[in-house]
């Protein structure tokens, strides 16, 4: 058992008997025979009891303690269960004391913070020590000698369990000691959760910068099945962020224990950051040197932001008001504080955000998903920064965008960014002409490019970076086995050094069959590429491409288009384009 939460002077001399918790598993008999089940009733039990240990006169060094927790032998290297709270009290036992024994230290209170009964037994070697239990109606003498073998039932502490009504999944915590501590004054910081019962602890000087922050230490130490994540916000606040990442509510206990006794005031200042769960309590224990926070963190449910109809980007015609303002960004339920007066763009975002989002805050404001996963995003102004001048929304950008007029919070869902998008191609004219091809996407993969000679070469382009290849006049074909987002079929580009626009294509016939398959027939300048573009789209964003071979003028498109489609056809030759021919079908 780890006695780190029992006063230091009480730890070693207590080894004079055995303790058992939950008699449902029998204690071990002294002679090694089969154990006898204890008879401890929980009728009328309370959630706490008090215990006073006694030592035989003249005994100063005893090493015979065994501990059973819920009937299981507890080793001296094990932590106490998360539900068990042990608090030394500033009082002395005033009841009956067996002849020849002295009080050892003061009274200690044991408390059950769980939602179920727990039975506890102390079994002492009566020649060395005794155990006195009191202040619980279920206390029972189980041995033949007073104080030799005693037991008690601890009832659930349900009335003291913190409520989860109105909880959120985040706790942003900042602590400091208002008086300058000594260099060696350290506190133990412990976090435990009621889901796994595991305790994570770090020794830390609250007023001195450590090599590793508390959040970093706890994140490194936590187990795989932990429902909690630990991180730290950016400057200037450096809040430690504790988040429930599980799919159920998590009640947590945060404990500060002073490890060095001195004359410094035992006062910790606690700061709770915006966006933290409101379901928490904080205070110094009535007795002892420990401080404790109890909180409920709700399940991580970013689904509060609807993703129905979401696109991979969110566009605003103006940027948010950031002058002399403090903002935070919430990505999938995790909140990151930004620097004061920071512009909401890539440069000011923490790495965890910029790896996921591309944010352009120069003039208009555009946020784009970089990944192939759905993400829910909130931009949250600090309460002291209100009122905020909201950005002007581009209503066609993303239907999930919502701006709360009261709080100024901007929220939206970003759909997964497509795997691969053909952006554009151009001829880089110079002493040595080159062809630049640009792709976008979260998983572009391998692209087959066929040059004018018919040679096929495989490339693995990088998003937002130009793929530079050798130039030759003629048709280039870009092909992906998985296709390109928003484009039907392969992509064609006519490489040439032409600098004069060609005549507008002529559409001779447009028909639609019963399956919405549209056939478009027409003529265009020979040895060019024609492309279909929608009316409502980005200039140059084509739905399909067709080659007009050298010496020919005819072109044909056969593809599925939605009802009442309106678009146009353009002719392309190198870096030049023609006027457009419009159609509606």
pLDDT digits (tens, 9 = 90+) for 271-286: 787 778 888 887 665 4
Average pLDDT, the chain: 81
The pLDDT of residue 396: 82
The pLDDT of residue 5: 45
CA–CA gap between residue 92 and residue 111 (Å, rounded): 18
Residue 414 pLDDT more than 50? yes
The pLDDT of residue 571: 96
The pLDDT of residue 31: 45
Q: Determine the average pLDDT of the residues in 199-213.
A: 61
CA–CA gap between residue 464 and residue 448 (Å, rounded): 18
CA–CA gap between residue 507 and residue 94 (Å, rounded): 105
Residue 71 pLDDT more than 90? no
**Residue where the block lists tokens 């602890």:** 201
pLDDT digits (tens, 9 = 90+) for 432-454: 899 999 998 888 999 999 999 99
The pLDDT of residue 459: 96
The pLDDT of residue 3: 44
pLDDT band at 529; cut points 50, 70, 90: very high
Q: Determine the average pLDDT of the residues in 83-100.
A: 85
pLDDT band at 335; cut points 50, 70, 90: confident
pLDDT digits (tens, 9 = 90+) for 220-271: 777 778 888 887 766 566 778 888 888 788 888 888 777 666 666 556 667 7
pLDDT digits (tens, 9 = 90+) for 178-197: 555 555 556 677 788 777 77
pLDDT band at 131; cut points 50, 70, 90: confident
Number of residues written out for the chain: 585
Closest CA relative to residue 581, chosen from 501, 494, 523: 523
Between the CA of residue 192 and those of 11, 156, 202, 246, 305, what are the distances in Å?
Answer: 22, 18, 12, 15, 30
The pLDDT of residue 7: 43
CA–CA gap between residue 400 and residue 377 (Å, rounded): 11
The pLDDT of residue 549: 96
Count CA within 13 A, CB hemisphere, residue 150: 23
pLDDT digits (tens, 9 = 90+) for 450-488: 999 999 999 999 887 899 999 999 999 999 999 998 899
Instruction: Quote the distance between the C-alpha of residue 407 and its chain's center.
Output: 23
β-bridge partners, 403: 410
CA–CA gap between residue 484 and residue 491 (Å, rounded): 9
The pLDDT of residue 442: 82
β-bridge partners, 85: 111
Q: Determine the average pLDDT of the residues in 531-550.
A: 85
**Which range, of 16-30, 91-105, 192-206, 289-303, averages the lowest pLDDT?**
16-30
The pLDDT of residue 261: 63
CA–CA gap between residue 75 and residue 53 (Å, rounded): 20
409 dihedral zone (left: phi>0; alpha: psi -120 to 50; beta): beta
- H-state helical runs in 32-113: none
Residue 380 token pair: 């949250």
pLDDT digits (tens, 9 = 90+) for 379-410: 999 888 888 888 998 878 899 999 988 888 89
**Residue where the block lists tokens 């809040």:** 239
In the DSSP assignment, the letter for residue 81 is P
Residue 304 phi, psi dihedral angles, 5° rounding: -60, -25
Do 81 and 67 meet the contact criterion of CB atoms below 8 Å apart? Answer: no
Helix (H, G, I), strand (E, B) or coil at 526: coil
Residue 543 pLDDT more than 90? yes
Residue 135 pLDDT more than 80? yes
Q: Output 405 or 511, whichever has higher pLDDT.
A: 511
pLDDT digits (tens, 9 = 90+) for 20-52: 444 443 444 444 444 444 578 888 889 999 998
CA–CA gap between residue 52 and residue 467 (Å, rounded): 78
Residue 302 pLDDT more than 50? no
- Strands ordered across the beta sheet of 149-154: 72-74, 66-69, 17-21, 118-124, 149-154, 140-141
**Which range, of 170-174, 314-318, 555-559, averages the lowest pLDDT?**
170-174
Closest CA relative to residue 268, chosen from 253, 254, 248: 254
For 244-265, b/e burial (b = at least 16 CB within 10 A) is: bbbeebbbbbbbbbbeeeeeee
CB-based contacts of 582, cutoff 8 Å, min separation 6: 535, 566, 567, 568
Instruction: Identify the top-confidence range among 75-79, 175-179, 295-299, 525-529.
Output: 525-529
- Strands ordered across the beta sheet of 357-360: 313-316, 365-369, 357-360
**Residue where the block lists tokens 């209100």:** 386
């Amino acid at each position: 058992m780890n006695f780190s939460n029992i006063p230091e002077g009480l730890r070693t001399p207590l080894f004079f008997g055995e303790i058992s918790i939950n008699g449902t598993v029998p204690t071990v008999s002294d002679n090694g025979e089969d154990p006898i089940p204890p008879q401890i009733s929980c009728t009328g039990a309370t959630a706490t009891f008090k215990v006073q240990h006694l030592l035989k006169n003249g005994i100063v060094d005893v090493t015979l303690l065994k501990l059973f927790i819920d009937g299981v032998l507890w080793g001296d290297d094990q932590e106490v269960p998360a539900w068990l709270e042990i608090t030394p009290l500033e009082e002395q036992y005033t009841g009956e004391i067996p002849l020849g024994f002295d009080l050892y230290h003061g009274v200690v209170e044991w408390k059950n913070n769980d939602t179920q009964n727990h039975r506890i037994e102390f079994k002492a070697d009566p020649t060395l020590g005794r155990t006195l239990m009191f202040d619980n109606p279920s206390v029972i003498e189980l041995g033949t000698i007073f104080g030799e073998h005693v037991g008690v039932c601890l009832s659930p502490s349900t009335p003291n369990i913190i409520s989860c009504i109105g909880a959120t999944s985040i706790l942003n915590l900042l602590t400091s000691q208002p008086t300058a501590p000594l260099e060696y004054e350290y506190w133990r910081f412990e976090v435990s959760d009621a889901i796994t019962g595991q305790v994570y602890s770090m020794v830390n000087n609250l007023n001195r910068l450590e090599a590793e922050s508390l959040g970093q230490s706890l994140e490194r130490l936590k187990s795989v099945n932990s429902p909690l994540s630990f991180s730290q916000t950016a400057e200037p606040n450096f809040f430690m962020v504790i988040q429930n990442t599980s799919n159920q509510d998590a009640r947590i206990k945060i404990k500060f224990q002073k490890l060095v006794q001195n004359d410094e005031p035992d006062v910790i200042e606690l700061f709770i950051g915006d966006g933290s769960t409101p379901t928490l309590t904080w205070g110094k224990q009535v007795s002892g040197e420990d401080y404790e926070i109890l909180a409920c963190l709700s399940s991580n449910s970013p689904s509060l932001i609807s993703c129905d109809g979401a696109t991979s980007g969110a566009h605003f015609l103006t940027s948010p008001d950031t002058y002399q303002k403090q903002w935070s960004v919430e990505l999938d339920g995790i909140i990151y504080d930004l620097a004061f007066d920071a512009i909401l763009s890539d440069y000011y975002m923490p790495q965890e955000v910029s790896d996921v989002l591309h944010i352009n805050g120069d003039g208009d404001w555009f946020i784009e998903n970089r990944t192939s996963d759905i993400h829910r995003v909130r931009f949250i102004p600090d309460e002291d920064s209100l009122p905020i001048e909201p950005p002007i929304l581009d209503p066609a950008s993303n239907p999930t965008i919502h701006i709360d007029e009261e709080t100024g919070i901007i929220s939206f869902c970003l759909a997964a960014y497509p795997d691969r998008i053909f952006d554009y191609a151009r001829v880089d004219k110079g002493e040595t002409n080159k062809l630049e091809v640009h792709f976008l996407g979260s998983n572009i993969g391998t692209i087959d490019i066929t040059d004018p000679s018919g040679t096929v070469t495989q490339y693995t382009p990088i998003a937002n970076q130009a793929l530079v290849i050798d130039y030759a006049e003629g048709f280039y074909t870009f092909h992906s086995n998985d296709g390109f987002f928003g484009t039907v079929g392969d992509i064609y580009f006519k490489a040439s050094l032409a600098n004069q626009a060609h005549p507008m294509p002529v559409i001779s016939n447009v028909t639609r069959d019963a399956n919405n398959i549209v056939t478009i027939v027409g003529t265009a300048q020979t040895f060019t590429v024609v492309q279909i573009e929608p009316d409502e789209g980005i200039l140059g964003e084509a739905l399909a491409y067709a080659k007009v071979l050298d010496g020919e003028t005819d072109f044909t498109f056969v593809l599925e288009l939605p009802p009442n489609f309106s678009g146009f056809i353009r002719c392309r030759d190198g870096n030049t384009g023609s006027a457009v021919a419009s159609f509606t079908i």
